[in-house]
Amino acid sequence: MDNLIVVFGPIAYDDIETQHGRVKKILGGCGAYTSVVVSSYPVECSLISRVGKDFQQSDKDFLISKGVDLEYLEIDQTGNTLFWSGCYSQDFASRSTRETKVGVFANHAPIVPKTLKKPEILVLGNISPKIQWSIWNQFSTKPPLTVLDTMNYWIDSQLKNLKQIISKVDLLSINNEEAFSLTNESRIHDAAEKLMGMGPQYIIIKIGAYGAFLFSKHQYDYSPAYPVDQTADPTGAGDCFLGGFVGFLSETKDYSFENMKLAMHHGTVSASFVVEDFGLRNLVHLTKASRNTRLKQYNTLIQLKPEPSPQVYERFHQA
């Protein structure tokens, strides 16, 4: 199906505390963040996920109102939706997890319906590599672009399974700490080279409030973060980044490195919306018009400062 992006990833309820306050049981999860941003582009986005008996109709209505196809959302009445509780440091440089309840994602064995087996882009969101692998194996024909996101928890607990799925995808999205942990390297460029050696053609290494790097075998590019007046909650920023990145690629149908550089800008701007409020609240303001306004401002910014400063390299290279 033309312009179809299939996103697999959890919908969750989050309890989040930052210096700007605390919210309880707010809609979250990488599947929700990514698919809402993807759906702001003129593409079709289907979310494969599972929620529990506590999932609110108002949250379902919100996702549908943003254009997310929830036809294949499974509602399991035997348990509750995935839950995460965490607290961020004053400078947002770190966060601590208070509690995680996997709920209905325990022993989840998702089924990809026939109607979704020929997407333009497949996004495997941050969840168990075993589940990512089970999704992957249901595609007899590899989609034109496959994207994987992961985190330190899976690096520590399912390294073998994680490396297996990494070897199959076209693009891996990961943050700098995870890249260092996965490769045992201490420099971003060295980590990216080793990650590409595991299979992917492209690597995105996110560096939080400093932006992100895009790597291919012979090229790299840096995108600084979009400056916002205030960060209220960085939860989901990486997922929104990925949503803007793949949304633009699917809209343009150009998977070249040069176009991926532009897609990085879309990802960066998309992430700037979500951090301005808790959860997905501020994504109600993400539209084509609002995104284009920020893209114009962002293009001016990167013309003034296209390369990362030495301080950025020093900050994100381990000693």
Cβ atoms of 301 and 226 closer than 8 Å: yes
pTM of the model: 0.94
Tally Cβ neighbours within 10 Å of residue 15.
Answer: 17
pLDDT of residue 319: 42
pLDDT of residue 301: 85
Over the chain (319 residues), the average pLDDT of each successive run of 10 is: 88 97 97 98 96 97 97 95 95 89 88 94 95 95 96 92 98 95 94 97 94 95 93 96 97 96 97 97 96 95 68 56
pLDDT of residue 107: 79
Query: What is the DSSP secondary-structure string of 58-114?
Result: HHHHHHHHTT-B-TTEEEETTS--EEEEEEE-TTSS-EEEEEEE-GGGTT------G
pLDDT of residue 308: 63
Q: Which amino acid is at 240?
A: C
Cβ atoms of 289 and 159 closer than 8 Å: no
